[in-house]
Structure 1
Amino acid sequence: MALAWVGLGSNLDDPPARLREALEHIAALEGVFALRSSPFYRAPPWGPVAQPDFVNAVAEFDARLAPEPLLEALLSIERRMGRERRERWGPRRIDLDLLHMEGESRAGDRLELPHPRIAERAFVLCPWRDLAPTLELPGLGRIEALAKKVDCSNVQPLP
């Protein structure tokens, strides 16, 4: 079993409800145990597309699944929840990203671990800091140190 972290995001159709629904689906996966989530955060959208703010969180759990089957399970949850991939960085009902798994690294076309561009993304690092501030990401550093290097002023916890 390995600790795994998944980033969650939504900016359509009641985003907090979509995140709660996705967390329920993840918790129901065979081979997933002890799921916990960061608080939900509101963050401006990433990229050039005009759209509503996102609600983001990071989930942590024990996984008996290898990274590739876990990624497939997450993509299946996205499909069941109505995710449509229309444009890069566009609005979405749900987005689930496998961020990191302890003891695992990948550099393939389909899966890269740790997830690329983590060090640039306040909407990932600010919630993740709530769960695992001292987690060391291979080649990147600790979550708390990475979060200090990004602008978290626009990434605010939901009341």
Structure 2
Amino acid sequence: MTETPNPNIIDADTLTGEMRPIRRVVIGLGSNLGERFGNLQGAVDALADTPNVWVTGVSPVYESQPLDCPPDSSTFLNAVVLADTTLSAHRLLDRALAVEDAFDRLRSDVKNAPRTLDVDLIAVGDRRSDTDVLKLPHPQAHERAFVLQPWFDLEPDAEFPGMGPVAELLAKVGTEGLVRRDDLVLEFE
């Protein structure tokens, strides 16, 4: 994965004239409460409607068993969105949180509590961050088949920043408990 799909393309901010690179973004989506598929489609639509974010691909939908969740948690629907953006990682994170809030995401002290919508920044170009607010690349995504498989479906030759080829990571993790749902197709414009 490179910092930009084409490092020679730069987008100028029309207000300030500031030059900002276009970065490839990998975003993970998940839902295990409410209208799960509708929540995922709504997230794709909201991301596609975000200024300075251009959705370039949406993976097939997968159903997965809850991982490290409270007992009796429902199964998740998961997908990955690829996009190009000139937004900073922090602005993109703000947008991801706003999309979650729009779908009534409730936050609690319970680790991995069920949720209507999860919008995770997996990678933002080659950007690195290790703050309390933003960790990039996502610190557990390289161990999660529900992220790796949909990402692999979109980009079989993708590289997880700092971890290696997505194909190798997926082979290591395996796909047990992951079911592709070809009856559910996310759309984007």
Q: TM-score range by the shorter chain?
A: over 0.9
Paired position in structure 1 for 2:47: 26
| Separation of aligned partners in 1, 2:25 and 2:31 | 20
Counterparts in 2 of 1:1-159, with a 5 A limit?
1-50=22-71, 51-86=73-108, 87-159=110-182
CA distance in 1, matches of 2:25, 2:77: 20
Comparing 56-65 with 113-122, which one deviates more in the overlay? Answer: 113-122
Letter in 2 for 1:66: S
1:124 is displaced (CA, Å) by 0.9
Distance 1:134 1:149 in 2: 16
SS of the residue aligned with 2:46? helix
Aligned residue type for 2:151 = W
Instruction: Provide the rounded CA distance (Å) in 1 between the counterparts of 2:161 and 2:150.
Output: 19
CA RMSD of superposed structures (Å): 1.1
Q: State the one-letter code of the partner of 1:77.
A: V
What percentage of aligned pairs have identical amino acids?
A: 35
The answer to whether the 8 A contact 2:123-2:161 is kept is no
Runs of 4+ in 1 over 2 A off after TM superposition: none
1:47 Cα shift? 0.7
Residue ranges of structure 2 left out of the alignment (5+ in a row)? 1-21, 183-189
Output the CA distance in 1 between the equivalents of 2:136 and 2:158: 14
Contact residue 27 and residue 35 of structure 1 kept, 8 A: no
Structure 2 CA distance for aligned equivalents of residues 55 and 36 of structure 1:
17
> What SS does the corresponding residue of 2:173 show, helix, strand or coil?
coil
Once the 2 structures are TM-superposed, how far is the Cα of residue 138 of structure 1 from its aligned partner?
Answer: 2.6
State the number of aligned residues: 159
- TM-score, structure 1 normalization: 0.95
Question: Which range is displaced more, 132-141 or 78-87?
Answer: 132-141
